[in-house]
Amino acid sequence: MEYAAVLSPELRAFIAESEALTPSGLAADDWAAVRAAYDRMAAQMHLGRPKDLVVFDTQISGVGVRVYGDAPTDVRPVTVIYAHGGGFVVGDLDSHDDLCAEISDRTALRVISVDYRLAPEHQHPAAYNDLAAVVQAVCAQGPVVLAGDSAGATLCAALLGTLADWPIDATQIRGQVLIYPLLGYEPRGGSFDIHADAPLLSRDDLAVCAAARGGDPDDPRATPASGDLRALPSTRLFASQCDPLCDDATRYAEAAKTAGADVLCVTQIGTVHGWLRARARSPELAAQFTEIVEAIRDLAR
């Protein structure tokens, strides 16, 4: 596909910058080098934090987290639990720090970012178990909204499709916001073919990450499409147009609606997988990010 005709100059510049920060010839399974390159890219593109936002690191149920926003002690406000992207193999509290800080600032909600274990050192279901442990503990204190991008969105959807496996009070979960998620449908046809070689995420990249993660494709803890979609809370999906995973979101939305869930799916035109780091580069991208922020805020209400 000719992406120059679809993507804005600002987004094309972001893609070029991202690719320039990734050394050529990097072995896909050289995880130390892959992570170092990803961390450099994330640090260079960090947009900063709001000046007065309270931020601190701690642990919940033995899992490292970063908390954004100062929650009052006399009420039980809604907490956003955020799971970062990175194909299950890269990413941490720092890689999505500015994103979580901005979500907290713009929604006036406390955000807890989860530092789940990464593959291949910790294969499935390690990351799923880490997110579930944090959600279980936070739900015991008050209502939550789950949110995540890419692999993090996968983890959120997998957990909410398998709630019966955990002692979590489902009434405490207000909803989930899934940003360019991987949901487990057959990676053939539609966007998987049209955007097989899309910028920043290709179909081959998906296969490498899946092999590193491990797990049975029929396991609903790994594959949200295999979960109990009837049990889903309100779900808001944001797919990227120029992303092999675009149709994963639309297929999931259709299946969940058929199962009776409250689901809305938006395909964000002129975006690619990972575009959130470019959210401040043009008014159009900023407006698309505002859609996501408003979805989180609306579910929290």
User: Is the distance from CB of 173 to CB of 144 less than 8 angstroms?
Assistant: yes
Look at residues 180, 19, 20, 223 and name the one whose alpha carbon lies nearest to residue 86: 180
Tokens of 134: 């944090």
Please tell me the predicted confidence (pLDDT) of residue 24: 74
Asked if residue 219 has pLDDT above 80, the reply is yes
Which whole number is the average pLDDT over 61-84? 86
Which pLDDT value is given to residue 129?
98
Q: Between these two residues, 25 and 60, which has the higher pLDDT value?
A: 60
CA 68, CA 142: separation in Å to the nearest integer?
Answer: 16
> Domain segments of the chain: what residues?
3-300
Burial of 73 (0-12, 13-18, 19+ CB in 10 A): exposed
DSSP-assigned letter for residue 210: H
Q: pLDDT class for 71, splitting at 50, 70, 90? A: low
% the chain with pLDDT above 90: 93
CATH architecture of the domain covering 3-300:
3-Layer(aba) Sandwich (3.40)
Residue 245 burial by Cβ neighbours in a 10 Å radius (0-12, 13-18, 19+) = buried
pLDDT digits 0-9 by tens, 283-299: 999 999 999 999 999 99
pLDDT in tens, 250-288: 999 999 999 999 999 999 999 999 999 999 999 999 999
Helix 126-139 to helix 151-160 angle (10° resolution) is 60
The predicted structure's pLDDT at residue 153: 98
Alpha-carbon distance 273 to 180, whole Å? 6
Q: Once rounded to an integer, what is the mean pLDDT over residues 223-234? A: 96
Q: Write the pLDDT tens digit of every residue in 91-148.
A: 999 999 999 999 999 999 999 999 999 999 999 999 999 999 999 999 999 999 999 9
